[in-house]
Structure 1
Amino acid sequence: MKIEPKRTQLLNQDQWKQELLESIRPENIELVGENDQVKLYGVKFFTYNDGRNVEQEIENLP
Structure 2
Amino acid sequence: MEDMKGRKLNWKHACDMLNCSKSHFYNLVNAGKIPAFRIGKVRAIWVWEKDVRDYMDF
* TM beyond 0.5: no
Q: TM-score, normalised by structure 2?
A: 0.26
Higher strand share: 2
Q: Which has the larger radius of gyration?
A: 1
